[in-house]
Amino acid sequence: MKAAPFEYVRAGSIGEACEVLQREGDAVKVVAGGQSLIPMMAMRLVRPGWLLDINEIAALKFVAMDKDAVRIGACTRQSTVERDQELAARVPLLRQALAWVGHIQTRNRGTIGGSIVHADPCAELPLVARVLGARMVLRSTAAARTVEADAFFSGPMMTATDANECLEEVQWPAWGERRTGSAFTEISNRHGDFAMVSAAAQLSLGDDGRCVRAAFGLGGMGQTPLAFPQLAQRLVGTRLEDEIVKSVAHDAAAQSDPGSDLFATAAYRRHLAGVLAARVISAAHAQAGSKG
């Protein structure tokens, strides 16, 4: 199929983009890499009256290292982020997750902001955003506001972004602890497909080998990507023995409410979630431990 007829406008600045959004409201769809939006338009699942192209806005393409976070412009390509060595050192989970996002070709076009606003509950970057507590900066003609990840993702392909707002940047917390490790994994039918279930973890060890900070989460297990701060807190102070890791992973799976579809039943997803959560926590532990 082909997309329904639409008007096209290319914005040269964030201000110009916001003016179009303010004027046309719900009738507009921002197009960044187009890797999700264009197929959906071709299938007529989305029929915008206006397509607002933000690819020419240089101010939306940057990677900036702040003291406690890395800020990434919304229209920065996923492949740019994947190749950035300094970024990988400061927020390693991002590169680990990006390796699972589609294919090299889709990552060359797909943007960080596009994946975040698209908000597929199985997508990798929204899960990393939840686990790390990323912050989304949304701009309208009137002002900019910052929304925490746990308030940003409100449902399957639904976010706190208003019709008159453009995602400007995503701020990814960079942990300062020296002995920090992280891991991402997922199960899908074929490499490059959306995950049935995905899992991400990051944790830090103190000098005595005990966990001093932990975060983990699951994708594909509910309406939005899920983080488990209270369960992660149970890991803190332990030496991350198998027993506690398995117990926390099991409880995370039990607390989730996945659906069944053509690819997997809810019961199978829950089984995978327990296995994968334990796997990423252990892998993150091993990586942190290797930093002696």
Ligand X SMILES: Cc1cc2nc3c(=O)[nH]c(=O)nc-3n(C[C@H](O)[C@H](O)[C@H](O)COP(=O)(O)OP(=O)(O)OC[C@H]3O[C@@H](n4cnc5c(N)ncnc54)[C@H](O)[C@@H]3O)c2cc1C
Residue numbers 70-89 binding ligand X by CB under 6 A:
74
57 forms part of the interface with ligand X (CB under 6 A): no
| Ordered alpha helix ranges (H), the chain | 14-24, 37-42, 78-83, 85-90, 92-98, 104-109, 112-118, 124-132, 149-152, 229-233, 242-255, 266-289
141 forms part of the interface with ligand X (CB under 6 A): no
37 forms part of the interface with ligand X (CB under 6 A): yes
User: For the window 194-223, what string marks contact with ligand X as x by the rule CB under 6 A?
Assistant: x-----------------------------
DSSP state of 111: B
The CB-of-43 to ligand X minimum distance in angstroms stands at 12
The CB-of-268 to ligand X minimum distance in angstroms stands at 19
Task: Give whichever of 152 and 194 is closer to ligand X, judged by the CB atom.
Answer: 194
C-alpha to C-alpha distance for 254 and 265, rounded to whole angstroms: 14
Kindly report the number of other CB atoms within 10 A of residue 178's CB atom. 12
Pick one of 96, 115, 182, 198: the residue that binds ligand X (CB under 6 A): 115
As given in the structure block, the two tokens for residue 84 are 């950035």
Pick one of 11, 18, 24, 36: the residue that binds ligand X (CB under 6 A): 36
Torsion sign across C-alpha atoms 256, 260, 264, 266: positive
Pick one of 18, 20, 30, 253: the residue that binds ligand X (CB under 6 A): 30
Task: Give whichever of 29 and 213 is closer to ligand X, judged by the CB atom.
Answer: 29
Task: Give whichever of 56 and 177 is closer to ligand X, judged by the CB atom.
Answer: 56
Pick one of 24, 82, 84, 124: the residue that binds ligand X (CB under 6 A): 124
Stretch that binds ligand X, among 82-90, 119-127, 234-242, 276-284 (CB under 6 A): 119-127
Task: Give whichever of 195 and 288 is closer to ligand X, judged by the CB atom.
Answer: 195
**Does residue 112 sit in helix, strand or coil?**
helix
At residue 80, φ and ψ (nearest 5 deg) are -65, -45
Task: Give whichever of 106 and 238 is closer to ligand X, judged by the CB atom.
Answer: 106
As given in the structure block, the two tokens for residue 112 are 């960080």
C-alpha to C-alpha distance for 200 and 62, rounded to whole angstroms: 25
113 forms part of the interface with ligand X (CB under 6 A): yes
Stretch that binds ligand X, among 61-69, 87-95, 99-107, 147-155 (CB under 6 A): 99-107
51 forms part of the interface with ligand X (CB under 6 A): no
User: For the window 166-195, what string marks contact with ligand X as x by the rule CB under 6 A?
Assistant: xx------------------------x-x-
Stretch that binds ligand X, among 29-37, 81-89, 144-152, 202-210 (CB under 6 A): 29-37
34 forms part of the interface with ligand X (CB under 6 A): yes
DSSP string, 22-89: HHHGGGEEEESS-TTHHHHHHTTS---SEEEE-TT-GGG--EEE-SSEEEEETT-BHHHHHH-HHHHH
C-alpha to C-alpha distance for 186 and 97, rounded to whole angstroms: 9
C-alpha to C-alpha distance for 54 and 32, rounded to whole angstroms: 6
Residue 150 is which amino acid? D
Residues that bind ligand X (CB under 6 A): 29-37, 54, 74, 101-102, 106, 109-111, 113-115, 117-118, 120, 123-124, 161, 166-167, 192, 194
